[in-house]
Amino acid sequence: MLQMAHIPTRSSERTESHPIIIAGGPCATFNPEPMAEFIDAFVVGDAEPVLPGLIDLLRDTTENTRDQRLRSMSELAGVYVPHYPRDVTRAVYKDDTGAVSDILAEDAEFGKARLVEIARGCGRRCRFCVAGHIGRPVRWMQLGKSQEDRDNSERQGLVGAAVFDHPDAVDYCSSIYAHGGTFTLSSIRLETLNDNTCELLKSAGVRTITIAPEAGSERLRKVLNKEVSNELILSTADMVSNAGVPKFRMYFMIGLPTETDADVEEIVHLTEMIYKSHPEMKIGISVSSFVPKPFTPFQWHPMESPQTLKRRYAIVRNGVSGMRNVEFGGESPRLAYVQGLLARGDRDFAGMIESAAISGDYTSAIRETGIDLQKYIYRQRTEDEYLPWDIIDMRISKEYLWREYQMAIQGIPSGPCKLESCRACGACSETE
Ligand code: SF4
């Protein structure tokens, strides 16, 4: 984008005539360091508390030099300016008015669906999930508050990490349907699916219900703190089939901490059980490679080797290949290590990213710039090691993450957030 706009890619090469490049959002900020040479400033966390001050500052300092403005920006809470590094604390939005999209266009990703934010954060505490850690605590939006002038007769896309976890989500969906509208949901926890919710989804025209068991075995799901039994998955498949929803899709990861080939074979076994019970139902199996992400308990854990990832991917692909009506998909593990690098890297990555942006070929860019894969993704990090992303205070304590990591390795789950009484990770006390 910068090249197409004729803006120098490196922040240090921009002059007074160039705009200030600001990035935000979870993907850009859970570890900003690999992009630090390209971005003038990052907004870390929720934009609402930061933008008014940032906009005022930019408006009031047009006479200042670019460098003076960047220095001033670096003093704002929630703003990280790589040229003036300092510890930055994630900004947190404390209101309960969710964002609603106002520009609807047929050609947009979500077409004419109006996106309605129903929650920020997630209280389920899945140990692999970066979104669930950097958005804590979960905050429910008041449904209907930001849409007072609308009549619920349109198509809405409800956005949240686990939509039916919202205490009013089912009623809200029913009301949309009763007013002649339809809806889609970004993500659902399988514990919140029941005959009523499946029926509601079917009535709203949902043609695929997707759940994410993540791992094939119950043992490994305990490691992930995603305690879902095989029995619950099988009964959910029954409900989906009974409701007449044509397709049931399941997401899995391979390369998870403590995983063995036997855990992966369980994915095939589980699929087979569902297939045998519902031979008429379309089943989708999606497999991706696990990347240990910053600000999760697995941030110290090494990524699985490409050979093992490829072997386990093949176990699932070959295992389900003979099952008619089972569609296998997912990401080939061939380039999973690139995701690992981008998630876990530091400022030394600038040359590699620049080279890959020009050639479109990450593999060559990594080789040519001599990025040490062992150093960044394939080694166990120690508890006291300084991590590239430690410059950001995500309001989640490192001691808590390490404790969760040790429990994960021992296969001990810790359950979901208990918002009233828990102060375990620090996010609730810090945002009170
Ligand atoms: S302090 Fe406890 S309840 Fe609050 S976000 Fe952290 S783990 Fe969840």
Confidence of residue 7 (pLDDT cuts 50, 70, 90): very high
- Contacts of residue 62, defined as CB under 8 A and 6 or more positions apart, other chains included, come to none
Q: Look up tokens 């508050």; give the residue.
A: 145
Ligand 1 atom at shortest distance from the alpha carbon of 423: 1
Backbone angles phi, psi at 288, to 5 degrees: -130, 165
Answer for the pair 326, 275: CB distance below 8 angstroms, yes or no: yes
309-318 b/e (C-beta count within 10 Å ≥ 16 → b): bbebbebbbe
According to the model, what pLDDT value does residue 187 have?
85
What's the confidence (pLDDT) of residue 178? 87
* Mutation probe of ligand 1 site: the residue of 129, 295, 418 with most atoms within 8 A of C-beta: 418
Q: Name the token pair of 209.
A: 């219900």
Distance separating alpha carbons of residues 404 and 408, to the nearest angstrom: 6
| Mean pLDDT (whole number) for 126-147 | 90
**Which pLDDT value is given to residue 177?**
87
Q: Fill in the amino acid letter for 11.
A: S
**Percentage of the residues of the chain whose pLDDT score is greater than 90:** 86
User: Do 241 and 281 contact (CB within 8 A), yes or no?
Assistant: yes
Instruction: With a cut of 80, say whether residue 146 has pLDDT above it.
Output: no
Half-sphere exposure of 144 (CA within 13 A, CB side): 11
Whether 427 lines ligand 1, by a CB cut-off of 6 Å, is yes
Report CA dihedral (143, 145, 146, 149) to the nearest 10 degrees: 110
Residue 130 has pLDDT above 90, yes or no: yes
Please tell me if the CB atom of residue 159 comes closer than 6 angstroms to any atom of ligand 1. Answer: no
Find out whether 224 and 128 touch, Cβ atoms under 8 Å.
yes
Ligand 1 neighbourhood includes 415 CB (under 6 angstroms): no
In 10 A of CB 324, how many CB atoms? 7
Q: Which of 136, 165, 399, 400 to mutate to test the pocket of ligand 1 (most atoms within 8 A of CB)?
A: 136
Please state, in angstroms and rounded to a whole number, the distance separating the CA atoms of residues 414 and 404.
Answer: 8
Instruction: Convert the pLDDT of each residue in 182-238 to its tens digit.
Output: 888 888 899 999 999 999 999 888 899 999 999 999 999 999 999 999 999 999 999
Give the model's confidence band at 153: pLDDT under 50 very low, under 70 low, under 90 confident, else very high: low
Q: What is the pLDDT of residues 297-344, one digit of tens each?
A: 999 999 999 999 999 999 999 999 999 999 999 888 988 999 999 999
* Confidence class for position 275, pLDDT limits 50, 70, 90: very high
Enumerate residues 6+ apart whose C-beta is below 8 A from 270. 213, 216, 230, 233, 234, 250
Question: Mutate which of 129, 225, 423 to test ligand 1's pocket (most atoms within 8 Å of Cβ)?
Answer: 423
What is the predicted pLDDT for the residue at 243? Answer: 93
